[in-house]
Each structure stands twice: as C-alpha cells, then as structure tokens.
Structure 1
Amino acid sequence: MVSTEYRGAAIEESYSKSMSKLAKTASNCSALGTFAPMWDVFRVSADKLALCHMELMRKMNDLIRDITKYGEEQLKTHRKTKEEMGATVEAVQALQAQAGHLHKSKEGHQAKCVELERLKKEGAPHKELEKAELKSKKAAESFALCIEKYNRVGAEFEQKLSESAQVRLPVSP
C-alpha cells in the first residue's frame, strides 16, 4: 500500500515539475500582442497549480513517513505482546490439555465402577470381584491425581492470566 502512495507522490512531483516548466515557457513568450494578458494569466495559473501539486507531494510524503513509522511501531508492539503473553498462552494450552486428561480419567473411573457393580449384581466369582475392585481403586487413584494436577494447572493458569491482565501495553498514537 505504501509503495502505491510513493508512486502517487512521484507522479505529483513529476506533474509539478512539468507545470513549472510550462509556466517558465509561458513567461518567455512575447509580452506584446493580444495574447499577452492571457499568457500572464496562464503563467500565474500554471505556477499556482505547480505549487499546489508540490505541496500535495510534500504532504503525501509526510503521511507516508507517518504511516510507515506507525506500521513499524505496531510490529514492535505485536512482537512484544506476543513475547509477554507467551507464558499465558502456554498456561491456557496446559489447562485445556489437562481438562482433556481429567475427562478421560473420569470416564475410565466411571467405567471401572460400573463394571464392578455389574459383577457384584451378577454374583461373579470372588477372584474376578477382587480384580475389578483393584482396577476400580487404581482408576480412582489415577482420577484423584488428575484432579490434583488439574487444580495445580488451573491455579497456574489463574496466576498467569492475572499477571497478563496487570500488564499495561503501550498505546499507539
């Protein structure tokens, strides 16, 4: 986009120079004759038009410079924000991953408990019941560990989110 504005400024500059040359040519014409007053009007108009285009070119170049500077500042701000918020993003991802593990562990624990209850109702042999109870206890322990880890990750997430909320980012002009 900026290169288009540079081209526009270059065109304005070229046009301004052409108008200045035209005004000089008009001023070299004879001051005698019936066209003399018209040549003066044309020369003055061409000079004014050339000045207008020169001023437009200057303003466009100033705007282009400001836009370029703003773009560079925005890029720096985005990079800085990305660096500062990286830990928060990681905490969010860790919480999401742990929530998935917790859900799977809960489903596994519920499945083992349902299996144990089914075996009890069917009157399964003692050895099978013990085996199912052991699996149910292991699933409960695994579920409890997942809950603890989820709570730890959740606390870390809250801390990182709180820290991120406290950070004041620079405001662009």
Structure 2
Amino acid sequence: MADLINARFILGISPGNEEISTALGLPVAKIDDPSLITADVVVVVASAKTGIDPNLVAQWNTFRELYVPTIVAIVDFEDGDVDFEDMSAIVGKMLEPVLTPYLVLHADDGEPTALINLEDQMITDYSSKSSAKIPSDLEHRELILEFKEELHNALIEGGWDQFSAGLIIPAIPLILKNKLGVAEIKHFLNLIPTRS
C-alpha cells in the first residue's frame, strides 16, 4: 500500500532503464500504468540517441492533465551528435518546454565531468570517485549568464513550488558511469513531500 501512496516512477524506454532505476531507487512504469494516477512524481527518460518512448509522446497530454510533478532525465548525450542543451530543446518540442537548472561542463578531452548550478553558480565536479563542490570562476559565470537569467525569469512567479505543483519540468543530465546528475535528480525528488 505504501508504494501506491508514495508512488514514484521512471517512465520511458532506454537500454539503461534498469541501471537508472537502481541508481535513483525508483521502479520503471509504462505511460499507460494505472498507478500513475496516484504518482507523487515521475522521472521521464529521454535519450539523445534513441529519443523518447513513442507511447509516452502519444499519451503525454493525457498524462499531463494529472499535473504529476515530472523530471526529465536526459541520457546518452556524452558521445553523440546531440548534447544536453540540444536534447532539452528537442524534449521541449516533443513534449513541452523544460527548464535546465544545471549545465554540463566538459574536461579538455570533451568528456562531461561536471555540472554548474545556474542558481548558485556552484560547480559539482564528478571527475573523480567522490564528487566535489567548487566555486565557479568568472569565465563560467559569463558563459552561463543567459541561461541563468532565463531560469531566473521562469522561477519568478513561484520558484520551484511550480515544479511541486506539476506546472514546470526540470531537465537534468544523467550519466551513470560517473554518477553525474544522480544527486541532482534526487534533490528534485526530495522537493516532493512523501505522504504517509
């Protein structure tokens, strides 16, 4: 019964769904699962390589009428032609516009190794076994200024309470091999109060 009361699911088809499910501690569901009616929050998987589950796209409008708080986890962007920002824009066209509270930072070899938080401009470095928070430098802050202002403007009305109400959707990059994005997705999951 507790699973129905505090229902949290992963939606979407990805080769890594089982690993994503384990990393986030959430079961996988299909868009037509009746349990979604009682869901507290869902994580939609969008792959930069394989796209978004066609069934999810077809039933998106009906699902969104439930105003279930939703997070989009963007995967498979690290070595493809489509990067995180491009995939966020694609999600915006296929489903609905999303907000990006973090941007991906790359090492010199092009490997995605860090996230910069657009609100506090802190960098979380995932290049070693344990992540580390470090302040951004002036160059980073100049590069993200436009994205930071866009996020700020979207949050003026009601902050992240709009997410909890199912009105806005954050898109978070996710790479399981270095855990980039796992803590960030869990942060948003924790914004939704559990019912008991």
Q: TM-score, normalised by structure 2?
A: 0.17
Indicate the structure (1 or 2) with the bigger Cα radius of gyration: 1
Q: TM-score, normalised by structure 1?
A: 0.19
Higher helix content, 1 or 2: 1
Higher strand content, 1 or 2: 2
